């Protein structure tokens, strides 16, 4: 009888173990898949500077829609709608991140300074600065023609406030990163470029604002745009060298994070845009007199130099774009929605703007048609990325 009882108990124990094993194998945790509750926004703590990559991309799309060749009234209207969406999106994020810091005040310091190498939020502070620059550029493009002189003066004042803030932030942030962190080059990501990005878009923003300013205020803004772009480009060259070493000596980023490699397209692309746009605006931006001569003569020569320099650099930006596209396509099935997907938009908007400047300079119908195709692709890409990320948030599956 005892033997039969023992046998029955052993059978029950074996069955229970089998059921536990089956349950474990079917659970998300056993497949290394995060639980549904691990995704999405659950508190204001989850709103970080990363989210401003969305406003970077939306604002850059509005800029492209305004500047693309062969535009029509419907396209300009679409650009205005995108700009309004960007303003609302930016305002919501600003409110959310303010509430985050109000509820969790200790996170203020951590968000801009953190000694742990695995914490990359401080790099994304630059996304906030770029978003503000693109909003100011869009205000100048879409707003000034429909408003009075008061907006011209407002853009001038906002430009100088913006420049002072981003220059101070660039100095303090890199000082903090250099002093408090010991970086491992193998862990480098293109996000290391983001702290200098606000200065990289200052040149193209200055070129737009100058067009609406009186000469007395246009000249200082133009000169400031040139110097800011120079600083941004020189720091980028240093970062490009480290990025190349990282790619040569270690593995490329994992497939889900590989879209972030498009960030490397942006610095060169926006520098091409700035050089050529500032060259085009030189007649209004150069001091009068310039080196003892009227600025018009020097402006024509300067624009020629700017066109040659921009053409010289454009293919470098395209090379980064092509390289990243191949690496992303090789593992396209492994891509999952996350905030690096905004990298499909913002850097490539810079490449589109650079191509627009080249088409304008050479008066090439073929290049202008290419720009129209790139603009359409960028717009469709923005719709796809926005829908994918919103759907991922809704389902609680945002990586």
Nearest to 221 by CA among 342, 136, 148: 136
pLDDT band at 87 (very low <50, low <70, confident <90, very high): very high
Asked whether residue 150 carries a pLDDT value surpassing 80, the answer given is: yes
Indicate the SS3 state at residue 336: coil
Rounded to 10 deg, the angle between the 73-103 and 53-67 helix axes is 160
- Tell whether the model's pLDDT for residue 21 goes beyond 80: no
More confident of the two residues 396 and 240:
240
- In this predicted model, what pLDDT tens digit does every residue of 238-290 receive, in sequence order? 989 888 888 888 888 888 888 889 999 999 999 999 999 999 998 888 887 77
pLDDT tens per residue, range 358-386: 999 999 999 999 999 999 999 999 999 99
**Residue 21 or 196, more confident:** 196
Degrees, nearest 5: CA angle 321-323-324: 65
- Dist CA 268 CA 287 (whole Å): 27
Using CA atoms of 347, 348, 350, 356 in order, give the dihedral in degrees to the nearest 10.
180
Q: Is the pLDDT of residue 339 over 90?
A: no
The pTM (predicted TM-score) of the whole model is: 0.85
Query: Which string of DSSP letters, residue by residue, matches 175-239?
Result: HHHHHH----GGG--GGGGGGGHHHHTHHHHHHHHHTTS-HHHHHHHHHHHHHHHHHHHHHHHHH
3-state secondary structure of 290: strand
| Percentage of residues in the chain having pLDDT higher than 90 | 51
Task: Report, in angstroms and rounded to the nearest whole number, the Rg of the chain calculated over CA atoms.
Answer: 25
The tens digit of pLDDT for each residue in 37-75 reads 333 445 666 778 888 999 999 999 999 999 999 888 788
Given this model, what pLDDT does residue 84 score? 96
């Amino acid at each position: 009888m005892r033997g039969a009882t023992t046998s029955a108990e052993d059978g029950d124990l074996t069955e229970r173990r089998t059921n536990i094993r089956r349950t474990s194998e079917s659970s998300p945790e056993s497949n290394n898949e995060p639980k549904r509750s691990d995704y999405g926004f659950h508190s204001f703590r989850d709103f970080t500077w990363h989210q401003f990559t969305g406003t970077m991309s939306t604002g850059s799309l509005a800029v492209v829609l305004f500047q693309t060749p062969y535009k029509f009234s419907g396209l300009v209207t679409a650009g205005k709608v995108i700009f309004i969406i960007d303003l609302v999106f930016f305002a919501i994020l600003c409110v959310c991140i303010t509430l985050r810091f109000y509820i969790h005040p200790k996170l203020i310091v951590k968000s801009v300074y953190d000694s742990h190498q695995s914490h990359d939020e401080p790099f994304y502070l630059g996304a906030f600065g770029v978003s503000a620059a693109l909003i100011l550029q869009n205000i100048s493009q879409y707003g000034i023609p429909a408003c009075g002189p008061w907006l011209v003066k407002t853009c001038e004042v906002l430009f100088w406030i913006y420049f002072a803030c981003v220059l101070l932030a660039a100095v303090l942030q890199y000082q903090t990163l250099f002093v408090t962190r010991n970086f491992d080059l193998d862990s480098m990501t293109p996000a290391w470029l983001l702290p200098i990005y606000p200065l990289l878009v200052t040149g193209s923003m200055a070129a737009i604002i100058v067009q609406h300013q009186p000469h007395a205020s246009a000249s200082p803004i133009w000169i400031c745009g040139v110097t800011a772009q120079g600083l941004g480009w020189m720091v980028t060259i240093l970062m490009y060298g480290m990025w190349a070493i990282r790619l040569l000596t270690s593995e490329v980023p994992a497939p889900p994070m590989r879209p972030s490699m498009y960030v490397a397209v942006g610095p060169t692309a926006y520098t091409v845009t700035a050089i050529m746009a500032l060259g085009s605006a030189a007649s209004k931006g150069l001091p009068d007199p310039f080196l003892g001569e009227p600025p018009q003569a020097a402006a024509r020569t300067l624009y020629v130099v700017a066109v040659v320099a921009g053409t010289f650099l454009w293919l470098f930006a395209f090379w980064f774009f092509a390289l990243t596209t191949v690496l992303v396509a090789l593992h396209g099935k492994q891509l999952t929605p996350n905030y690096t997907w905004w990298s499909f938009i913002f850097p490539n908007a810079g490449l589109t703007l650079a191509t627009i400047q080249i088409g304008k300079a050479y008066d090439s119908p073929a290049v202008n048609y290419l720009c129209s195709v790139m603009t359409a692709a960028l717009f469709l890409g923005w719709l796809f990325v926005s829908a994918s990320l919103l759907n991922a948030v809704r389902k609680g599956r945002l990586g």
